[in-house]
Amino acid sequence: MYFLLKNKRIYKGHQIMINHHSMDEVKLFGFWPSPFSRRVIWALKLKGVNYEYIEEDLPYNKSDLLLQYNPVHKKIPVLVHGGKPIAESLVILEYIDEVWPQNPLLPKDSYERSVARFWAKFIDEKGPIMWEFYLKFGEEQEKAINNSIEILRTIEEHGLEDKKFFGGDKMGITDLVFGLVIHILVPMEEIVGVKFIKEETFPRLHAWIKNFSEQPIIKDNVPDYSRVVDFFKRRRETYRLSAHPNH
Amino acid sequence: MADEVILLDLWSSPFAMRVRIALAEKGIEYESKEEDLSNKSSLLLKMNPVHKQIPVLIHKGRPVCESLIIVQYIDEVWRDKSPLLPSHPCDRANARFWADFVDKKIYSTGKLVWATTGEVQEAAKKELIGCFNVLEGELGDKPYFGGDKFGFTDVSLIPFYSWFYAMETCGNFNIIEDCPKLVAWAKRCMERESVSKSLPDQYKIYCFLMGLKKKLDAK
């Protein structure tokens, strides 16, 4: 537990340390379809942290505040806690876990922590590759689909093992990161007309999706499905018209 | 030997250098097993089946992969000596942010500087100097990114100092002209035994990278 001695009141000769840092105001700059801000929302909800959410109008209309809080990358999500900004979703998740230790995202054991970090990083990096297929056409799409299957195969075989969640009996950091499957991958599959995670081909991941989606924090905090499908449909169409006028 | 520490290593890898530095900072005894990436050992393939890459730290028979994850593991297990991450969550987040910045920008951009020519190289040089200037902004007047103490961000970045001769020779420029603070920081880090013993000689790295470049050009 870390304490920031923000206010020390002297009362009747006794020093009372008040205002645990965790009581400071929390703001989150996000974008509703983004998996990077979605995982931060889930973490805050899981820990019961009150926060103000600021919706950014991406990609062309970033607010001055966002650019001020994340001058290096100019991206969401940015968590602002007590006026101090923190950027990069995995950095934010670790920060949240340290300031609000309830419902931990990382295990206590150092080795288990390194495993959790490994898979969170793997999925975070491979995520964009996994959904590349929805902006591809023809042969390129075939190749992208095979890449996605390969990534999922690695996660199925080495990442989840026989656990209910990546975090074990309860959700952890990797579950929040892999959660992109339910609000990004599935809508894109529907648009393109493929389905990756079937019970016969990916039994563990298939079971995970069911368990994960049923968690109240998740169920109550996913973007509207048809709105997401609409959003990605339009994006795919815009991309098709600009890059592949003959498709 | 239940507590044995083994590092699947590569003398020229900046990522392996990070781990060697962290182990040295903590005074941890370990066995270094040099890998030949063109002929990966069965141990490496067993311990890192996902990436099949070094570095891998094997502690009590269990593998830890990914250099920054390994450094954090080392910092947590051997927490009583030379802490690399600060204690306050805000400062820890800041250290992780900048180490992530190094990971995202320095390796790929630096590689373009020593591996390419012409317009691509020129653009890479500009980008690299830009990134170094951003890092100098973060460093400010502090001796280290960690403040008074050598820390996590310093460990993540200093291995790329071993590339400076190669980048400057290939790119025909002097990094110190545009980034004097960064070079001063690097030299300060090199005064630490953990760093000077973990980084190979810059000329040796230059020869090695030129060998790699030939192979890349041939493809």
Q: Which residue has the higher pLDDT, A2 or B107?
A: B107
Residue A22 is predicted with a pLDDT of: 74
Q: What is the residue whose two structure tokens read 């890059």? A: A243
Nearest-angstrom CA–CA distance, A133 and A142:
8
**Which are the contacts of A217, defined by CB distance < 8 A and separation ≥ 6?**
A42, A45, A46, A171
Q: What DSSP element (H or E) covers B214?
A: helix B202-218
Closest by Cβ to A91, choosing from B72, B77, B93: B93
Cross-chain residue pair B90–A111, CB shorter than 8 Å: no
Tell me how close the Cα of A214 comes to any Cα of chain B, in angstroms: 29
Partners of A87 in the β-ladder: A78
* Residue A27 C-alpha, separation from nearest chain B C-alpha, in angstroms: 15
Spatial CB neighbours of B146, under 8 Å, sequence gap ≥ 6:
B84, B86, B95, B152, B153, B154
Look-up: residue for tokens 């250290």?
A: B95
User: Are the Cβ atoms of B97 and A86 closer than 8 angstroms?
Assistant: yes
Q: Is the pLDDT of residue A16 over 90?
A: no
**B47 to chain A: closest CA residue:** A158
Please report where in the chains the tokens 């019961």 appear, as a residue.
Answer: A48
What's the distance, CA A223 to chain centroid?
13
- Percentage of the residues of chain B whose pLDDT score is greater than 70: 99
Which residues are A8's β-sheet partners?
A17
Cross-chain Cβ contact A99/B134 below 8 Å:
no
Contact indicator for B177, B132 with CB cutoff of 8 Å: no
Q: Position A160: which residue type?
A: L
The model's pLDDT over B70-84, given as tens digits with 9 standing for 90+, comes to: 999 999 999 999 999
- In chain B, which residues touch A (CB < 8 A)? 49-50, 59-60, 62, 64-66, 69-70, 72-73, 76-77, 87-90, 92-94, 96-97, 100-101, 134
Longest Cα separation, chain A: 81
Q: What is the pTM of this model?
A: 0.94
Distance from CA of A159 to the nearest CA of B (A): 9
- Asked if B69's CB is within 8 angstroms of A111's CB, the reply is no
Q: What is the pLDDT of residues A159-168, one digit of tens each?
A: 999 999 999 9
> Does residue B35 contact residue B41 with C-beta atoms inside 8 Å?
yes
pLDDT tens-digit readout, B17-63: 999 999 999 999 999 999 999 999 999 999 999 999 999 999 999 99
pLDDT at A76: 98
Nearest CA among B86, B54, B66 for reference residue B154: B86
Mutate to test the interface with B, among A20, A69, A118, A155 (most CBs of B within 10 A): A118
Per-residue pLDDT tens over the stretch A137-181: 999 999 999 999 999 999 999 999 999 999 999 999 999 999 999
CB neighbour list of residue A42: distance below 8 Å, 6 or more residues apart: A176, A179, A217, A218, A221
End-to-end C-alpha distance for chain B, whole angstroms: 44
